[in-house]
Amino acid sequence: MIKAILIFNNHGKPRLSKFYEHYSEDTEQQIIRETFHLVSKRDENVCNFLEGGMLIGGSENKLIYRHYATLYFVFCVDSSESELGILDLIQVFVETLDKCFENVCELDLIFHVDKVHNILAEMVMGGMVLETNMNEIITQVDAQNKMEKSETFIFQSPRQDR
């Protein structure tokens, strides 16, 4: 099971945080800080797996991370997930973001964090992998976005785009 998915930048500023187990708000922030601390210490040429920090289950859980340009993508998982499989999953996630935002960069994640959540919701649900086919995910996300847009038109309300 995936316990949490975190995206933060090289300075530790969170760009997305999704927890699949409940923690209090304070603990969530502490976990983000602790994870950043652990992950930012790593060299570029070491393996992508770490024991989890104390707050998120210690050595029962692993942190699997990938560093793309200015962002760290970190998945905290327990022992039932395959480490190499999660690495591939992160890759699929990033490629999907790339397709949806066209050459995605950190700014896209900053200004459209709700869209990123929507994409993630089509991939991981309740801590488990839902869909791994990139095209499938994109199709569904596009359809839902179209629904939103059409509502704006139908209801003649002020632009809801955020």
List of residues contacting another protein (CB under 8 A): 14, 16-18, 20, 22, 25, 29, 43, 45-51, 82-85, 87-89, 92, 110-111, 113-114, 117-118, 121, 125-133, 135-136, 140, 143-144, 147-148, 151-152, 155, 157-158, 160-162
Tokens standing for 123?
């991939």
Q: Which is nearer to another protein, 69 or 147 (CB)?
A: 147
Q: Which is nearer to another protein, 103 or 155 (CB)?
A: 155
Longest dimension (CA), the chain: 54
> What's the closest the beta carbon of residue 131 comes to another protein, in angstroms?
5
Q: Which is nearer to another protein, 103 or 126 (CB)?
A: 126
> What's the closest the beta carbon of residue 72 comes to another protein, in angstroms?
15
> What's the closest the beta carbon of residue 156 comes to another protein, in angstroms?
11
Contacts 24+ apart (CB under 8 A), 122-130: 123/89, 123/92, 123/93, 123/96, 124/2, 124/5, 124/20, 126/20, 127/1, 127/2, 127/3, 127/20, 127/21, 128/1, 128/2, 129/2, 129/89
